[in-house]
Amino acid sequence: MHKIQAWGASAAGKPLAPMSIERREPGPRDVVIEILFCGVCHSDIHQARDEWSGAMFPMIPGHEIVGRVTRVGGEAKKFAVGELAGVGCMVDSCRACGPCTEGLEQFCEKGNAPTYNGTEMDRKTPTYGGYSTEIVVDEGYALRVPTGLDPAGVAPLLCAGITTYSPLRQQGCKPGDRVGVVGLGGLGHMAVKLAASMGAKVTVLSTSAAKEADARRLGAADFVVTKGGNAFERLAGKFDIIVDTVSAPHDYNAYLGLLRPRRAMVLVGAPPAAVPVQPFSLIMGGKQLAGSLIGGIAETQEMLDHCEKHGIVSDIEIIPIQKINEAYERVLASDVRYRFVIDMASLRGPSA
């Protein structure tokens, strides 16, 4: 074991502060990654504030990690020292159950090992995330990072990218489909870019009128403010796919009314409270309300390769780790354009 620098929460809702944690010495299949950039996901905030309950402290958030491989275990073949590597929301799973063998490691029957706020598969050793200088991970759960893309802009693809790519693929998104994206934050802006890259005609449904120009620049053909006005009447029955990325409770029934018959609205946003769904919102039109959780490892690599092909990265604002608490407040105020990414050099410098 060796000590490294990190920032984390010592208890639910406490401001994040510097702390040191221990990383394991690399095993035969491990890679050691010097973390260059880590994205700030709204899930980091939900968990650091224990909004989904069951949080484990101290917590080092961060599951949108891009870094450089500095050491590889004796049997590790996937990476050479000096290459870029990414880590998303999982660092291990059982590798033997049905979901694991089908490339759905996120749904491992034994429970995957999340990158933070959980344990390794021994169910004892706590995992710590990417707001830190280094991570040690089994090479099978590390992703190859396209070299032609800005590594800071790639970091958010490891969660926001795969979380929106996967439901679009599951729903068979194809050229000409009308896709509604609810909420233009970190996930939402990736949903717009990815759906547009698949040839869909994208409409952003937002509570923030000021985001219209951005939505169009990101690839949306239409932008609708959902507060007030007649958006819900005007767009009734228009969409083939709706991806709902909103982090706070809101009325799903209203959005289900915007689907064409037999089509699906997929929830990826995870508000920490139950929301009533009226049976007739689904029965009328034979609609589906679905959910989606990140994506498997192979699908995450497929998403990164898709982004390389289409030149897609996240729109980011780079911050030093010392600004993380301020960044959390801005995310909560829907004031993020469109993902904060921590430059981890700030954690290695003299002021750290």
Query: Footprint of ligand NAP on this chain (CB under 6 A)?
Result: 41-43, 46, 159, 163, 183-188, 206-208, 211, 245-248, 250, 268-270, 292-294, 331, 334, 336
Q: Considering only residues 120 through 179, tell me which ones interact with Zn ion, judged by CB under 5 A.
A: 159
Question: φ and ψ at 348, to 5 degrees?
Answer: -100, -20
Can you read off the two tokens belonging to residue 347? 């954690």
Strands 259-267 and 288-291: parallel
> Measured from the CB of residue 243, what is the shortest distance to ligand NAP in angstroms?
10
Query: Closest residue to ligand NAP, Cβ-based?
Result: 185
> Measured from the CB of residue 165, what is the shortest distance to Zn ion in angstroms?
13
**Four-residue CA torsion sign, 30, 36, 39, 44:** positive
Taking Cα atoms as reference points, which of 21, 13, 127 lies closest to residue 347? Answer: 21
> Measured from the CB of residue 131, what is the shortest distance to Zn ion in angstroms?
13
Per the CB < 8 A criterion, the answer to whether 231 and 212 are in contact is no
> Measured from the CB of residue 211, what is the shortest distance to ligand NAP in angstroms?
5
Strands 143-144 and 84-87: antiparallel
> Measured from the CB of residue 340, what is the shortest distance to ligand NAP in angstroms?
9
Contact partner, 5, from Zn ion, ligand NAP, none, Cβ < 5-8 Å per class: none
Q: Is the peptide bond before 58 cis (omega within 30 degrees of 0)?
A: yes
Contact partner, 245, from ligand NAP, Zn ion, none, Cβ < 5-8 Å per class: ligand NAP
The nearer residue to ligand NAP, 5 or 208, going by C-beta atoms, is 208
Q: Where are the beta strands (DSSP E) in the chain?
A: 2-8, 17-23, 30-39, 65-72, 84-87, 90-92, 113-114, 118-119, 126-127, 134-138, 143-144, 178-182, 201-206, 222-225, 239-244, 259-267, 288-291, 316-319, 339-343
Q: Residue 9 burial (CB < 10 Å; 0-12/13-18/19+)? A: buried
> Measured from the CB of residue 174, what is the shortest distance to ligand NAP in angstroms?
23
- Using the contact rule CB under 5 A, the part of the chain among 92-100, 143-151, 317-325, 328-336 near Zn ion is 92-100
Q: Considering only residues 27 through 86, tell me which ones interact with Zn ion, judged by CB under 5 A.
A: 41, 43
Q: Is the peptide bond before 255 cis (omega within 30 degrees of 0)?
A: no
> Does 282 interact with Zn ion (rule: CB under 5 A)?
no
Contact partner, 268, from Zn ion, ligand NAP, none, Cβ < 5-8 Å per class: ligand NAP
Contact partner, 186, from ligand NAP, Zn ion, none, Cβ < 5-8 Å per class: ligand NAP
Q: Which residues bind Zn ion (CB under 5 A)?
A: 41, 43, 93-94, 97, 100, 108, 159
